[in-house]
Chain A
Amino acid sequence: AQSVTQLDSQVPVFEEAPVELRCNYSSSVSVYLFWYVQYPNQGLQLLLKYLSGSTLVKGINGFEAEFNKSQTSFHLRKPSVHISDTAEYFCAVSDQRGYQKVTFGIGTKLQVIP
């Protein structure tokens, strides 16, 4: 069984300030890790993913995330946020084998304040 914990349900941050959205996971097998973003009234779209290799992965819109196996974490960061980053962010894990069930966290609402 696998699970995802997003520690913050809402994160308010001023425009141009840095932000970190936290994600921890639990799994009995090796996993792939993802961050998805959901803008209002839209489906989810992939922000970035960790499959293997370098633990620091870069995604779209200036976001990056670092995989920490010992801490079982995959925190999302951006050095300077923009108003357009206001959205909900979901961390997700997928089994590397089998039918690759994908499990999502409850989401973190990022509110960028002008």
Chain B
Amino acid sequence: EAGVAQSPRYKIIEKRQSVAFWCNPISGHATLYWYQQILGQGPKLLIQFQNNGVVDDSQLPKDRFSAERLKGVDSTLKIQPAKLEDSAVYLCASSLYPGFSGTGGTGELFFGEGSRLTVL
């Protein structure tokens, strides 16, 4: 079974530039998460999708961050314009939703390898 795919793995940009990250979850996983992990901290949820609908984006800085999940499969996270404090690893994860295909979701997340962003 293929895991969660993310790209690019590394990105270096100047402040005020824009950047986009892509994520393809595990096939059949209805829930997709974007987390921000700043060095020395735990992952912080930015946005959670259920199929192609947003169920939690309370910690997404909406003035500069946007995310979409068209057709309920892969997702893109965009930052425009970037700030120095956006330097972090952006982790995408997916999970089963309760009742999907007869199996209960448990909140267990499957992570991609992450996209490391450096803003200069």
Contact = CB atoms under 8 A, between A and B. Distances in A.
Q: Do A and B assemble together?
A: yes
Interface of A: 4, 6, 32, 34, 36, 41-46, 49, 51, 90, 92, 94-96, 99-107
Given A43-B111, A99-B56, A107 B42 contact: yes
B20 interface: no
Nearest to B44: A104
B34 to A, nearest CB: 12
Contacts, number: 71
B12 interface: no
A99 B55 contact: yes
Nearest to B3: A43
B43 A44 contact: yes
A34 B50 contact: no
Indicate the member of B31, B48, B98, B109 with the most A CB atoms within 10 Å: B109
A92 B106 CA distance: 12
Given A49-B106, A99-B48, A43 B55 contact: no
Interface residues of B, number: 29
A34 B108 CA distance: 8
A46 B107 CA distance: 11
B24 to A, nearest CB: 14
Interface string B94-117: 010110000001111111111000
Nearest to A46: B108
A49 B113 CA distance: 21
Given A34-B108, A95-B107, A106 B42 contact: yes
A51 B106 CA distance: 7
A34 to B, nearest CB: 7
A99 B41 CA distance: 24
Closest 4 CB pairs of A and B: A94-B107, A43-B111, A104-B42, A100-B107
A103 B114 CA distance: 18
B108 A49 contact: yes
Nearest to A50: B106
Nearest to A102: B107
